[in-house]
A = this chain, B = another copy of it.
Amino acid sequence: MFLQIEDFLSPDEVQAVSEIARQAKFIEGRRSNPHNTTKDNVIADPDDPIGQKAGQIALVALQRNEQVNNFAAPKRVAVPSLSRYGMGMKYGAHIDAALLRIGSQALRSDVSCTMFISNPADYQGGELLIHMGTELLRIKGNAGSAIFYPSTTVHEVVPVTSGERLVIITFIESHISDQLQRDLLYSLGEVRALEGLKMEWQNRTKLEYVIANLHRMWSK
């Protein structure tokens, strides 16, 4: 399932990240996926303290957002990465790596996230294209918005034909790895939030009973 959130970053945060992008050192994006010859973008050098500030802004936004918490049930989050697609750049159809190394541990990517920094009017092309078999979802968010989508999908960034696309991307390991299970728990949580106070106490307890036990069954 997909979750698009407008104003995920405040205008000030978007502004700050844009400023960081002007000062940070960028390197070849292919470094994180060297086998993919269709990857052609640049990313802020993870060792550059200036670029790291963009990641910190993104993490703060993730942690304060209750909707993301409900939707993704995050267990761990990868260090967010600032990416820039200039004229002609793209990232061909690919699948995100299942296990990312973080020191001596592995983070499983369950939910992928793109936070849009550029204004969509400021570049042509550059849409995030999600392959759903023969159907395609085409996503180009407003500056400050974020899209959360299953890491299990093949997706691509189509070539930028003018202007520049600036985004922050990251990956979430969820307590609930399976996409459908995660979505069912999210839906039940919404029923509880929106209808729970109107229910008979006994029925609400039944709903709580189901939610708690599905968490027990499915959490890893």
Contact = CB atoms under 8 A, between A and B. Distances in A.
A72 to B, nearest CB: 11
A19 interface: no
B213 A190 contact: no
B175 A191 contact: no
A133 B175 contact: no
Q: Main SS of the interface on chain A?
A: mixed
A80 to B, nearest CB: 18
A95 B190 contact: no
Nearest to A199: B195
Given A2-B133, A3-B133, A135-B2, A188 B210 contact: yes
Contacts of A98: 211-213, 215-216, 219
Interface in A118-164: 132-135, 137, 139, 151-152, 154
Interface string A177-220: 11110011001101100110011111101111111111111011
A96 interface: yes
Give the number of times this chain occurs in the complex, counting copies: 6
A38 B109 CA distance: 38
Interface residues on A, range: 35 or more
Nearest to A94: B205
A4 B134 contact: yes
B216 A108 contact: yes
A215 B135 contact: no
Contacts of A96: 212
A184 B203 contact: no
A19 B208 CA distance: 36
Contact of A99 (B38, B175, B183): B175
Given A190-B206, A195-B199, 4 more contacts: A137-B137, A154-B205, A177-B217, A220-B220
